[in-house]
Chains A and B, each alone.
Chain A
Amino acid sequence: MLAEYFPILVFLGVSTMLGVVLLGLGSLLGPRRPSSEKLSPYECGFEAFEDTRSKFDVRYYLVAILFIIFDLEIAYFIPWALALDTLGTFGLFAMVIFVVELVIGFFFVWKKGALEWE
């Protein structure tokens, strides 16, 4: 069984080696003549006005968290779909209850207007 994964291991090894070799060769052989102008954030244009880190609206997190929750819900569907023919009615209703629980959540989110982008 694990032997089936051997090509993936070879791919992983080759890609890691390729990355290491390319970066290593570049840093070994490439000319390096730093100057203050080269190291400045922009060679031309404005100086940076402020820090990259700045406070932003909390609603972006809401979208990301809702995405993770429904992503997890979908992950539960995969083994269920594969095993459905042996699960029978009991397994079907186990998933129906689960989906009803999350549809309640979905309608809550919808009615609260959390999916709206004002």
Chain B
Amino acid sequence: MPIIEITFYLFAAVLVGAAVMVISVRNPVYAALFLVLTFFSAAALWLLLEVEFLAIVLVLVYVGAVMVLFLFVVMMLDINLAPLKEGFIRYLPAAITVAVVMAVELMMVLWVRGKFGSEAFESPVPHPPDYNNTKEVGEWLYTQYMLPFEVAGIILLVAIIAAVALTLRRRPEAKRQDPARQVQVKRDDRIRMVKMKSETKVEE
């Protein structure tokens, strides 16, 4: 089926191109939008591997939620780009070292698996049309892999607590309404009857 290969190379080319644009465009907002395109192409590639659930979760969670947060941060933060670029030459040797180490590690992982190219990885077995990948994930995730699943829950709990601890700020000076106290208010809390003597004419 050449169309599958054509689709794969199309989306892979878009993915690599968009990933290069993420680190090369000057405007950080454009970089975030190219990252959206990268995630979307990755989701299309996963769909080609017939992992529908992960592909759709990638679109929903990364494109829908994480990238919105990224855009939010990038658009709103007060980032001045000029000081960020000053250290480029100075940090270049360290950056090249890290990049080479990462590239070598990736190559070694691939070499351990065999050789490069698609023949190193067995292509997924074609499934019948009534095969449900999401159901298949569920049958493994909540039985065989229950412990990692519960650990994921704990990690999410830690993330909640960390987010609250890091960003929750009280603002005592802010004025706010308390609807419960508003409806409980009595007439006497608001109105005070004052007895006064009637005005008398001042004697001249």
Contact = CB atoms under 8 A, between A and B. Distances in A.
B97 to A, nearest CB: 32
B163 interface: yes
B156 A105 contact: yes
A62 B139 contact: no
Given A54-B76, A61-B73, A98-B153, A2 B48 contact: yes
Interface in A44-74: 51-62, 64-69, 71-73
Contacts of A60: 72, 76
Given A54-B76, A78-B53, 11 more contacts: A4-B129, A52-B75, A55-B78, A65-B159, A65-B163, A68-B66, A80-B141, A81-B138, A83-B137, A108-B161, A118-B176
Given A1-B127, A64-B72, A82-B138, A54 B157 contact: no
18 contacts: A1-B127, A1-B128, A55-B78, A59-B167, A62-B163, A62-B164, A64-B65, A69-B163, A73-B153, A78-B138, A79-B134, A79-B141, A82-B134, A94-B142, A101-B150, A101-B153, A101-B157, A108-B160
A75 interface: yes
Interface of B: 3-4, 7, 47-48, 50, 53, 57, 60-61, 64-66, 68-69, 72-73, 75-79, 126-129, 131-132, 134-139, 141-143, 146, 149-150, 152-154, 156-157, 159-161, 163-164, 167-171, 174, 176
A61 B162 CA distance: 12
A51 B152 CA distance: 41
A114 interface: yes
B142 to A, nearest CB: 4
Interface string A80-104: 1111101100110011011001101
Chain A: interface size category:
35 or more
A92 B94 CA distance: 50
Contact of A83 (B75, B139, B157): B139
Contacts of B131: 1
A78 B137 CA distance: 10
B156 A97 contact: no
Given A71-B65, A79-B53, A101-B153, A109 B138 contact: no
A5 to B, nearest CB: 7
Given A53-B76, A90-B143, A66 B163 contact: yes
